[in-house]
Amino acid sequence: MGIEEKLPSGVLLTGVEKLVGFMRKSSVWPATFGLACCAIEMMAFGGPRHDSARFGMEVFRASPRQADLMIVAGRVSQKMAPVLRQIYDQMPEPKWVIAMGVCASTGGMFNNYAIVQGVDHIVPVDIYLPGCPPRPEMLMDAILKLHDKIQHTPLGVNRREADAERERAAMEAVPAQAMKGLLQ
């Protein structure tokens, strides 16, 4: 006989972490950082056909202080890298980053001195979205995966413990250079 049986019907029981996770995932406000052709697909995602409002993202924020998701769409030049980092630093915690397109993820076909070979050299990336350019449907899928990640992010001491565990696992991982054969 638990507490569920003592409460009247219609009362919802949940943990604080689950409730906060649900509220956070349902109110993600993106900051646009459209740098190239991927930005056109990101704009299409905000349009009526793909309707970003059903994900709680009605308005793309122009101010980083009002946003908690940065969608880096397109190639990042060496000159733009400090600006990208400054905008990321101005965003309030918790904050998330989606690298949209192959140029933002790895530098793409621009393997030269002027283009950053992956935005993860500048800011920590949560979701990598491949494609050249990725379709708005792919961006919707990436946002749904990010929502799942946000909803299951622990809070407080639990978050610090989870971060420490992830860091420990990353330090114990075998580097790709040390792997032999077919990258087992």
pLDDT tens figures, 101-159: 888 888 778 878 888 888 888 888 888 988 888 888 888 899 899 989 888 887 777 77
Per-residue confidence band for 182, with pLDDT thresholds at 50, 70 and 90: low
Token output for 110? 């621009």
Considering the chain, what is the average pLDDT of its residues? 81
What are the backbone dihedrals phi and psi of residue 154, each rounded to the nearest 5 degrees, phi first? -70, 165
Q: What is the pLDDT of residue 163?
A: 78
User: In this structure, are residues 91 and 126 in contact, taking their beta carbons and an 8 Å threshold?
Assistant: no
pLDDT (0 to 100) of residue 9 = 62
Pull the structure tokens for residue 119: 């935005």
Residue 61, C-beta contacts closer than 8 angstroms, at least 6 positions apart:
29, 30, 31, 32, 67
Q: 181: which residues sit within 8 A by CB, 6+ positions away?
A: none
Question: pTM for the complete prediction?
Answer: 0.78
Q: Which two tokens stand for residue 105?
A: 């993820």
Check if the beta carbon of residue 70 is closer than 8 Å to that of residue 31: yes
The pLDDT value recorded for residue 6 is 63
3-class DSSP state of 73: strand
Query: What pLDDT sits at residue 19?
Result: 81
Maximum Cα interatomic distance, the chain, rounded to a whole number of Å? 67
Average of per-residue pLDDT across 54-71: 82
pLDDT(183) > 60 = no
